[in-house]
Structure 1
């Protein structure tokens, strides 16, 4: 199961700032959930704690029945799409997408099949042999999503800055992420400051303010 459950989740930084206050939430398998609220309300901190990029102060995070608190980020069945998607310029598109699979020591045939399937899914089959530095920013964004999808995550975490604030690219990214959710059945957790985006994208909308959930709308 790819459900996500937060139980009494708290995040306090060393300077004393309380980013997340006693948040409890259940997200069903296959849902597209948007987190909406002003900057600093704790929504990105929640995603980063789920992904293992931020330590949890107190509380628990479950993926299905598995407690994630002490599981290393690389061992969680998650993929993350944040602004700083690190692509390797000296690799071509194929090798960038295949890297995570090679690190997992998957057979060459499995890697080839997954990479080519993902490239077709995102419409980048024609650039597989090109170096990263020679493709467009929009294509780089698709490569980053493709690299995430080939690992077959149960949950995709998306920060609103992933599209680098370019409106056209943002719309392309939203289209791709909706396709990932609907056609691949991957649970999506998406953070946004945009109210209209939040209410039109998500099957569940989580409104936040000052580190707390103020409303959950379905």
Structure 2
């Protein structure tokens, strides 16, 4: 199971800026939740707090019955894909994907099994011996996804900047994201400032503004108006 519960979550930076204000949310196992809102609304900060990249000012984050703040970031059963995915260009694809598993000292047969399975899923099996520096940006992005997948995460966190604002990269990333959700039954949280994208790919759409959740929409119950407009009856995003 991979239920995520945010309880009165808050983030205030040392300069006094309030990024996240008293956010409470329950995300069910195997959901693909898209967080939509303008730049600076707190959506990426929430993902970073779940992943342990940002400290929590107030509130709690639970993964099933575990309080995540009690678990060091490296030990959380999560995978994160943000803009800087830090591939090692002097290593080949296989070495990059396997690196995290080697650091965890998994048995070699298990490492090989996981790496091969991820490579087949992402369609990069023929690239395994190539140096990362010789790959296209799309293939580098897939290598980064593969490195995350082999860790068998309960939850996948992915920020829109992972695609580096390149339209071709973005389309491919979203296609891979949908397949991961549908075929691997993963709980996925995805941040975007594109409402049509949020509706197309999310099973649940969380709308945010000024650090707060303004609406939560179930894709299955969206009206035609809500499918084309992020604005609710009160004029909130």
Matched with 1:78 is: 78
Q: In 2, distance between residues paired with 1:142 and 1:73?
A: 23
Matched with 2:17 is: 17
Runs of 4+ with >3 A deviation? none
Matched with 1:164 is: 164
Matched with 1:147 is: 147
Matched with 2:98 is: 98
Matched with 2:178 is: 178
Q: TM-score, normalised by structure 2?
A: 0.91
| Structure 2: gaps of 5 or more residues | 219-237
Q: What do the CA deviations read for 1:166-204 (whole angstroms, capped 9, x no partner)? A: 111101000001111111111000000001001111000
Q: TM-score, normalised by structure 1?
A: 0.99
Q: In 2, distance between residues paired with 1:66 and 1:137?
A: 37
Q: In 2, distance between residues paired with 1:66 and 1:176?
A: 29
Matched with 2:43 is: 43
| TM-fit CA distance, 1:90 | 1.1
Q: What do the CA deviations read for 1:11-42 (whole angstroms, capped 9, x no partner)? A: 00000000000000000000000000000000
| TM-fit CA distance, 1:3 | 0.8
Higher relative contact order (CA 8 A, sep 6+): 1
Q: Report the 3-state secondary structure (helix = DSSP H, G, I; strand = E; otherwise coil) of the residue aligned with 2:70.
A: coil
Q: In 2, distance between residues paired with 1:83 and 1:70?
A: 26
Matched with 2:67 is: 67
Q: In 1, distance between residues paired with 2:169 and 2:160?
A: 12
Q: In 1, distance between residues paired with 2:136 and 2:112?
A: 23
Q: In 1, distance between residues paired with 2:137 and 2:200?
A: 26
| TM-fit CA distance, 1:70 | 2.6
Q: Report the 3-state secondary structure (helix = DSSP H, G, I; strand = E; otherwise coil) of the residue aligned with 1:69.
A: helix
| Structure 1: gaps of 5 or more residues | none
The number of residues matched between the two structures is 218
Q: In 1, distance between residues paired with 2:171 and 2:64?
A: 31
Matched with 1:196 is: 196
Q: In 2, distance between residues paired with 1:73 and 1:136?
A: 30
Q: In 1, distance between residues paired with 2:48 and 2:79?
A: 11
In angstroms, what is the RMSD of aligned CA positions?
A: 0.5
Q: Report the 3-state secondary structure (helix = DSSP H, G, I; strand = E; otherwise coil) of the residue aligned with 1:158.
A: strand
